[in-house]
Amino acid sequence: MNFLADESVDRPIVERLRQDGHTVVYVSDLDPGISNGEVFGIANRANSILLTADKDFGELVFHQSLVTHGVLLIRMAGLSSMRKAEIVASTIKDHSSELLGAFTVITPGAVRIRRRFV
């Protein structure tokens, strides 16, 4: 799968997904400090699912109706970066067919997938 990882995503998550064979462009390597709107534009042009830990993207998707190929919001404060990476990788493996065009929230104990875009 293709992903664009926002700056808010821990580097070990990006590295783990790359190890699993996913294409992951990391905003921290690409162009740090760009606006959320620019991040959405890059993700859309690349047909990528956006990985983020920034709740502001929910505002852009649901209140401003920005179209996206999918958003995966990581909400796992207090866990180590390595544990987060394991959970995100497992979620993608288990739910890959459901992520495209959906707004997905990953927490330590649950995955919520809201179909919205396709």
**CATH code, domain carrying 72:** 3.40.50
How many domains, in total, are found in the chain? 1
The whole-number pLDDT of residue 87 equals 96
Q: In what order do the strands lie in the sheet with 2-5?
A: 23-26, 2-5, 49-52, 71-74, 102-107, 110-115
How would you class 24 by CB atoms within 10 Å of its CB: exposed for 0-12, middle for 13-18, buried for 19 or more?
Answer: buried
Question: Tens of pLDDT along the chain (118 residues)?
Answer: 999 999 999 999 999 999 999 999 999 998 888 988 898 889 889 999 999 998 877 766 665 656 678 899 999 999 999 999 999 999 999 999 999 989 899 998 899 998 865 4
* Range(s) of the domain holding residue 105: 2-115
